[in-house]
């Protein structure tokens, strides 16, 4: 199904053939109705799923911020392959409406580009969709990846696929949530591999007393949003950067207190995954001497090559080195594919 928002759209002329296409048309009918709000379901990845009533003008503000950041213009082609029940899919439609894009719509499967050969100026995908579409990412001009953190392994695969094909593709990882109407910051992964997220125009970020990110985005949400994400802010007082920038360190819920040292497992996992392809998770196991003993869980079968690679990892300090390495067949995951750290801790 294709909708050219650069032309006047008559919803009655649309002929949805699939359940997903019917959901798309249903949202468009809701969007072009007299109501000033639409209903948005949260994913529940950071809590209990809930329904938000969101003002359309705020969604348009979010769409404009993203389109401006990416340099999208009227008549550009876009590709929708995300569920429209959630903010991710809804915002792809709103961006297409706001910027008058030519939108191609396909069912949101894990392999959305499998039967697609054409070029698209813009697309948003989940990490799993990108993982299953590496050979086709060269056909996208601006690709944003959201819904979950992009692993070091996927970054490597993307870099190899796009470099070998001389792709004219720019890839970004996003940072955001339903309450911010999709993302509030983007970080380039290709062709430049950036460490810091750049905040969109009209948004201000700071740190609270815990060192966690606080978001002030009056055009998106009337409230100041406090997160549980530990961050490092960069050169906010400097004229060197046009935008505020921050580096995600990890969630405060996951911090491991070992021998008085507060350790962000996500930082160490990123180090490990630059060296090995296996899934790797750090947990803290109760220990009389250390309080929490730092343990590294590796998904896969132990072998000499893996052990050699692990021994070559350079940790920030000796205290950041795992006191024990355990190999397991599978690491527990939540329904959305994210690591279930609580379940993993229970096992040990």
The residues with which 39 forms a beta bridge, in sequence order, are 53
pLDDT at residue 109 in the model = 92
Cα–Cα distance, 96 to 287 (Å, whole number): 54
pLDDT at residue 274 in the model = 87
pLDDT at residue 290 in the model = 78
pLDDT at residue 8 in the model = 86
Are the C-beta atoms of residues 298 and 306 closer than 8 Å to each other?
yes
pLDDT at residue 336 in the model = 60
Would the CA dihedral through 83, 87, 90, 95 be positive or negative? negative
Q: Which residue spans within the chain are E strands per DSSP?
A: 2-4, 37-41, 51-55, 77-80, 102-105, 120-125, 140-145, 170-177, 182-190, 197-199, 204-207, 212-216, 225-234, 245-251, 256-258, 261-263, 280-287, 291-299, 324-328
pLDDT at residue 237 in the model = 52
pLDDT at residue 51 in the model = 81
Are the C-beta atoms of residues 288 and 322 closer than 8 Å to each other?
no
The first and second tokens of residue 323, run together, are 């006191």
Query: Can you list the domains of the chain with their CATH numbers?
Result: 2-251 (3.40.50.12780), 255-347 (3.30.300.30)
* Each residue's pLDDT tens digit, 230-239: 999 986 554 4
Residues of the chain with pLDDT under 50: 238-240
């Amino acid at each position: 199904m294709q909708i050219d928002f650069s032309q006047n759209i008559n919803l009655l002329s649309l002929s949805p053939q699939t359940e997903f296409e019917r959901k798309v048309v249903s949202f468009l009918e809701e969007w072009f109705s007299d109501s000033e709000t639409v209903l948005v379901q949260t994913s529940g990845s950071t809590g209990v799923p809930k329904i938000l009533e969101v003002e359309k003008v705020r969604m348009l503000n979010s769409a404009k911020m993203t389109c401006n950041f990416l340099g999208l213009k009227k008549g550009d082609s876009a590709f929708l392959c995300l569920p429209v029940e959630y903010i991710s899919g809804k915002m792809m439609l709103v961006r297409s409406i706001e910027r008058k894009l030519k939108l191609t719509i396909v069912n949101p499967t894990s392999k959305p580009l499998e039967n697609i050969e054409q070029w698209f100026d813009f697309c948003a995908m989940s990490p799993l969709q990108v993982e299953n579409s590496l050979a086709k990412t060269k056909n996208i001009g601006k690709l944003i990846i959201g819904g979950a953190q992009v692993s070091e392994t996927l970054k490597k695969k993307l870099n190899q696929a796009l470099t070998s094909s001389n792709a004219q593709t720019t890839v970004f990882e996003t940072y955001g949530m339903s309450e911010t109407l999709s993302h509030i910051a983007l970080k380039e992964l290709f062709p430049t591999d950036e460490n810091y997220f750049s905040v969109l125009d009209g948004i201000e970020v700071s740190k609270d007393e815990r060192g966690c990110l606080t978001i002030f985005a009056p055009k998106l949400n009337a409230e100041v949003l406090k997160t549980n994400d530990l961050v490092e802010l960069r050169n906010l007082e400097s004229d060197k950067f046009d935008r505020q920038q921050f580096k995600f360190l990890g969630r405060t819920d996951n911090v491991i207190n070992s021998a008085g040292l507060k350790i962000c497992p996500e930082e160490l996992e990123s180090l490990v995954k630059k060296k090995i392809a296996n899934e790797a998770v750090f947990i803290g196991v109760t220990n009389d001497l250390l309080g929490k003993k730092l343990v590294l869980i590796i998904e896969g079968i132990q072998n000499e090559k893996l052990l050699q690679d692990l021994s070559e990892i350079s940790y920030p300090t000796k205290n950041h080195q795992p006191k024990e390495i355990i190999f397991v067949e599978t690491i527990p995951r939540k329904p959305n594919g994210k690591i279930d750290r609580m379940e993993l801790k229970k096992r040990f």
